[in-house]
Copies of this chain bind each other. A is one copy, B any other.
Amino acid sequence: MPKKLVSLGTMALDSVETPFGRVDDALGGSGTYFSMAASFFTQPAIVSVIGEDFPEEHLDFLKDRGIDTEGVEVACGKTFHWEGSYEYDMNEAKTLKTDLNVLASFDPKIPESYKGCEFLFLANIDPEIQLDVLKKVKPTVCLADTMNFWIDSKKESLTKVFEAVDGIIINETEARDYCGTPNLIKAGLELASISDGKVIIKKGEHGALLFADEDVFAMPAYPTTKVLDPTGAGDSFAGGTIGYLAGLSSTETPDLKRAIAYGTAIASHVVEGFSLSGISERSREEIEERYQLLRKVVAFDHTL
């Protein structure tokens, strides 16, 4: 049986400060947030690297969620460590320190059992590594994220990634920068044309846009008043979205729209706590409640 969902991403120990508190060496990383979110709907597998200092309890925590960690390499040295802070407006993280550590020489090893999986998600990482993993895994469907650093430094390789995948999930600043236009609708349509696939633009507190089948779809953020720590919101959104699709084994646009609502619901729980505390105790029913509320939040002339 091929795996339902594999992701390539980071596993990190984060130190984060916001106006509402601080954590040190807390479990983080794009792969972690993505897989935790996806685990509401499927049993995700993760390709990543950690150092010898990575606490055993964190690995156990992920395994208890049904996350397959066979693809997590334990390398000599220390785990990737990110230190950041959010100020008053909570919209943008200020990176105080990035210790790549074992990530600096990361050469992803793909377990045989991961190859030929249904869905592959390539979180933000060097686009050359993304391409390499895509070639090795040969999934049925592949989606990718990126960040401004790669748009500035390796745009050509990144374009190859975008051309090779079936979907792109990036944030609004990256979409504007990559396409060189302030108009997000133009940017989304251009990216959809480059990848000949689906494009999701993440807008934080303003929700997300989907470009698919030449149509535009808009999803607001879930209306929460309790934003304690935005770290991991984007990766959790992606994990909830793709995890829901993988659970259904579907790439149909109507399912993708529902998936985006589930991703939105899960991301809203993530920001309500530091590290993974916002979702670690949440039930599938609590996610469903927010999904149902999102249906009401957008309806203005619809039968519910």
**Residue positions of A touching B, CB distance < 8 A:** 88-91, 182-186, 189, 203, 205-207, 209, 215-220, 223-225, 227, 254, 257-258, 260-261, 295-304
Q: Which B residues touch A206, using CB under 8 A?
A: 203, 206-207
Complex Cα spacing A89 to B172, Å: 12
Q: Give the residue of B225, B260, B300 whose beta carbon is less than 8 angstroms from that of A295.
A: B300
Given the contacts A215-B296, A295-B301, A300-B257, A205 and B184 also touching, CB distance less than 8 Å: yes
Q: Is the CB of A185 within 8 A of B224?
A: yes
Nearest chain-B residue to A291 (Cβ)?
B301
Q: Is the CB of B301 within 8 A of A261?
A: yes
Q: Is the CB of A225 within 8 A of B182?
A: no
Given the contacts A182-B88, A206-B206, A298 and B224 also touching, CB distance less than 8 Å: no
Complex Cα spacing A298 to B296, Å: 11
Q: Is the CB of A225 within 8 A of B88?
A: no
- Copies of this chain held together in the complex: 2
Complex Cα spacing A257 to B254, Å: 24
Q: Is the CB of B90 within 8 A of A225?
A: no
Nearest chain-B residue to A300 (Cβ)?
B257
Q: Is the CB of B225 within 8 A of A185?
A: yes
Nearest chain-B residue to A292 (Cβ)?
B301
Q: How far is the CB of A211 from chain B (nearest CB, A)?
A: 9
Q: Give the residue of B218, B258, B260, B299 whose beta carbon is less than 8 angstroms from that of A297.
A: B218
Q: Give the residue of B88, B182, B258, B300 whose beta carbon is less than 8 angstroms from that of A219.
A: B300
Q: Which B residues touch A300, using CB under 8 A?
A: 217, 219, 254, 257-258, 260-261, 295, 298
Q: Which B residues touch A220, using CB under 8 A?
A: 207, 209, 218, 220
Q: Is the CB of B183 within 8 A of A216?
A: no
Q: Which B residues touch A89, using CB under 8 A?
A: 182
